[in-house]
Structure 1
Amino acid sequence: MELLVVGDVHGCFHTFTKLINEHWNRDKQILVQLGDLLDRGKFSPETILYAIELKKHNSDKVYFLKGNHEFEVIVHLEEGNENWLKQCGQEILKQFERKSLDLVNYISWLKSLPLYYETDHAFISHAGISLTAENPFEESHPESVLWNRGQLKNIGKLQIIGHTPCKSGRAEFDNDSNTLNIDSGVYLPKGLTAVKINDEGKVDEIIFVPTLSIDVTV
């Protein structure tokens, strides 16, 4: 099947649902979101609940991957994470409290998220396969598929990543590593990007939805 790969959402619920409602063909496309569903934007609880429902009702056609922000939340819930609390955690906890929700109730779901989605022609992860990482799937390592910001490895198929917002505010392709970065900085606020990939691993269309003002504090 074709793929619809969506970049970092960061709690921008209304922008995310607009993209899904207008551009995802459930009959023809597998939906893959490459991590960082939460933090930064104003609607992390709504985004998580929406993702859980999408997966529940489309289990074989929807895949949410783990990003570094999901990892940070898991660390906080299991052992405490002052760094996350200082960056954006306090606000996220308040968002959940305002909805009468407890973030700890979602830890099992967050921990269950896979690190990558792979086909014969494409490899999708949050931050990509590093050129130098000995084990790119060691979650806490700075060169892992959750954290890497260094040079990427050409793995013989298209990599699709997010994690590092593109300076241009649009998807950017790196020819050396055959990698497409689709993090267009939805929370900055710029917009949310998705890419349609055909059965041969070729890019059919790049979709850009400008960030809706309701999702962010400017």
Structure 2
Amino acid sequence: MQKFVIGDIHGGLKALIQVLKKIKISEKDLLIFLGDYVDGWSESPEVINYLITLKDKYNCIFIKGNHDDLLLNYLKTKSFNKEWLIHGGSSTIKAYEKINLDTINKHISFLESLKEYFIDEDNRLYIHAGFTNQKGVEYEYFKPSFYWDRTLWETAISLNPNISFDDILYPNRLKIYKEIYIGHTPVTKINKTTPHQASSVWNVDTGAAFTGSLSILNVDTKEFWQSDSLPLLYPNEKGRN
């Protein structure tokens, strides 16, 4: 069985379809989506429709991202934080104005079903953002860390590459799992354009919300595939600010 992990999509259905066509996948393989399916480009509802259909064909695991949580709150309560509008929410609200109630209810059910994290049989952790508890995700006392934390990634990229795993200063959070796969913080912030490893952490968010592309990575071989940049796929849109 192959395992593929997919980075943040942010409403870019064209990129998702394009990148999935580049891999050879069977019904025995596993697709692990790291969250942030919405907010940014214009096709957030269409992305969720596509994912709902996809899980009927393949083995899929869908992780919750912070933008998915914000959308769920909006669909259930019609309330939102103004910051959400600035970071992609405005395009999502506009897109959902055209969606009927039955479909909205299906999307609510999908969003409510999202996993906080997934740990595979090889002790690899898949999570949208990170965690703060030094014993691991099972002990996390502030669950929103799973889809909001940035300190795990910041710790990984700031770590001296020459430090020994057994060094007393080596961060405990980076010792718990064989590997950790995250999205949330685009690697474009450190001038990278492809999935990037720092210590035990693999960041698969290659900036699809902005000027980057969507990436899918084979967990075992580390081979990856990318879509065209999202501005090329949506030339008349701006994506997230």
Q: TM (normalized to structure 2)?
A: 0.77
2:92 counterpart of 1:73: no
Note if contact 2:8-2:209 (Cα within 8 Å) is conserved in structure 1: no
Structure 2: distance between partners of 1:99 and 1:156: 41
Q: What does residue 196 of structure 2 align with?
A: 172
Q: 1:215 to 1:118 in 2, by over 3 A?
A: farther
Structure 1: distance between partners of 2:4 and 2:181: 11
The number of aligned residues is 207
Q: What is the percent sequence identity of the aligned residues?
A: 28
Which one has the bigger helix percentage? 2
Cα deviation, residue 210, structure 1:
2.3
Structure 2: distance between partners of 1:65 and 1:125: 7
Q: TM (normalized to structure 1)?
A: 0.84
Q: 1:165 to 1:204 in 2, by over 3 A?
A: closer
- Give the aligned residue type for 2:4: L
Structure having the higher Rg: 2
- Give the aligned residue type for 1:120: E
- Give the aligned residue type for 2:201: T
Structure 2: unaligned runs, 5 residues or longer: 154-172
Q: 1:36 to 1:24 in 2, by over 3 A?
A: farther
Note if contact 1:11-1:215 (Cα within 8 Å) is conserved in structure 2: no
1:130 aligned to 122, 129, 132, which one?
A: 132
Structure 1: distance between partners of 2:141 and 2:5: 20
Q: 1:172 to 1:189 in 2, by over 3 A?
A: same
Q: 1:126 to 1:45 in 2, by over 3 A?
A: same
Q: 1:17-67 deviations in whole A, cap 9, x for unaligned?
A: 111122141245211111001110121111110000011233xx1111111
Indicate the RMSD between aligned Cα atoms, in angstroms: 2.3
Cα deviation, residue 3, structure 1:
0.4
Structure 1: unaligned runs, 5 residues or longer: none
Q: What does residue 41 of structure 1 align with?
A: 41
Pairing 1:54-69 to 2, within 5 Å after superposition: 54-58=54-58, 61-69=59-67
Note if contact 2:125-2:177 (Cα within 8 Å) is conserved in structure 1: no
Which one has the bigger strand percentage? 1
Q: What does residue 159 of structure 1 align with?
A: 180
Q: 1:145-194 deviations in whole A, cap 9, x for unaligned?
A: 1011013521231001000000212211111xx00001000121211111
Q: 1:209 to 1:90 in 2, by over 3 A?
A: closer
Q: Which stretch has the larger CA shift, 89-98 or 36-45?
A: 89-98
Note if contact 2:213-2:227 (Cα within 8 Å) is conserved in structure 1: yes
Q: What does residue 111 of structure 2 align with?
A: 110
Q: What does residue 211 of structure 1 align with?
A: 229
Q: What does residue 53 of structure 2 align with?
A: 53
Q: SS where residue 63 of structure 1 aligns?
A: strand
Cα deviation, residue 100, structure 1:
4.7
